[in-house]
């Protein structure tokens, strides 16, 4: 942890070398994500609810996904940019260092400009939490923390799979953005609105619904079973096949010779 914090400090100082550029990029990230909020607002001016979810409840759902994705992308940026590490030969140096490979890739890149999205999710939470109609008992607060924390790890698992594919293709596969950036965009609404088949896919294949939709039902008292409170923890099992796929790719790695 001490070594990771040194890398954290190093990357932060690197960003602060060009403060104006950093804050303008941070603002740009905030504005881009803000357009999603605006689209939600105008949509609910036309419709009072979507699948029974009102505006404030949908904002709560959107804030969870946006915060989870922002945390995963900020601190897992090394895996998002992993094809570049393979292409320029930097990964060869990772292999000969006496440190865990996952740790080294994580520490290789942190993009703090992406915290503009995180800041927006905090603002949305500040509005949605008191206005969503949720009775905030200790179990509901814990559920919310589980949604964000487990959601970050599930998104990180998707970045790990993306990196695993890069061992075979060298270049990244853009179709993975369907689940990463696409998961963030479509996660602005509860996943149930996209139909039963999509919900089942996002439950049993790519478990985004396990931290977004099902615990949301518990928050809103649509499900009383305490099992729904801990469903995000089940989504963490997705880390196992994600890591296994990354290790399979690692065994097939051949240097690019750069």
Provide the pLDDT for residue 16. Answer: 78
| One-letter-per-residue 3-state SS of the chain | CHHHHHHHHHHHHHHHCCHHHHHHHHHHHHHHHHHHHHHHHHHHHHCCCECCECHHHHHHHHHHHHHHHHHHHHHCHHHHCHHHHHHCCHHHHHHCCCCCHHHHHHHHCCCHHHHHHHHHHHHHHHHHHHHCCCCCCHHHHHHHHHHHHHHHHHHHHHHHHHHHHHHHHCCCCHHHHHCCHHHHHHCCCCHHHHCHHHHHHHHHCCCCHHHHHHHHHHHCCCCCCCHHHHHHHHHHHHHHHHHHHHHHHHHCCCCCCC
Predicted confidence (pLDDT) at residue 258 exceeds the cutoff of 60: no
Q: Which segment, 30-39, 79-88, 130-139, is predicted with the most confidence on average?
A: 130-139
pLDDT in tens, 178-227: 888 888 888 889 999 999 999 999 999 999 999 999 999 999 999 989 99
* Predicted model pTM: 0.90
Provide the pLDDT for residue 140. Answer: 95
pLDDT in tens, 164-183: 888 887 665 677 888 888 88
């Amino acid at each position: 942890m001490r070594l990771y914090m040194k890398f954290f400090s190093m990357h932060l100082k690197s960003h602060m070398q060009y403060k104006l550029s950093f804050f303008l990029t941070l603002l740009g990230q905030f504005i881009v994500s803000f357009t999603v909020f605006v689209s939600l607002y105008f949509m609910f001016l036309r419709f009072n609810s979507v699948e029974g979810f009102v505006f404030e409840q949908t904002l709560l759902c959107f804030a969870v996904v946006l915060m989870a994705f922002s945390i995963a992308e900020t601190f897992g940026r090394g895996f998002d940019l992993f094809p570049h590490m393979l292409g320029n030969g930097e990964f060869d140096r990772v292999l000969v260092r006496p440190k865990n490979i996952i740790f080294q890739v994580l520490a290789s890149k942190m993009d703090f400009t992406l915290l503009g999205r995180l800041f927006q999710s905090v603002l949305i939470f500040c509005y949605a939490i008191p206005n969503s109609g949720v009775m905030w008992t200790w179990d509901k607060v814990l559920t919310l923390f589980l949604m964000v924390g487990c959601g970050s790890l599930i998104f990180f698992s998707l970045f790990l799979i993306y990196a695993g594919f890069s061992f075979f293709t060298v270049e990244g596969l853009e179709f993975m953005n369907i689940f990463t950036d696409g998961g963030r965009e479509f996660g602005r609404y509860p996943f149930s609105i996209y139909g039963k088949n999509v919900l089942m896919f996002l439950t049993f294949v790519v478990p985004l619904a396990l931290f977004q939709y099902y615990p949301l039902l518990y928050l809103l008292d649509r499900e009383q079973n305490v099992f729904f409170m801990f469903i995000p923890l089940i989504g963490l099992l997705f880390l196992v096949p994600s890591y296994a796929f990354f290790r399979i790719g690692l065994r097939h790695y051949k240097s690019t010779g750069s």
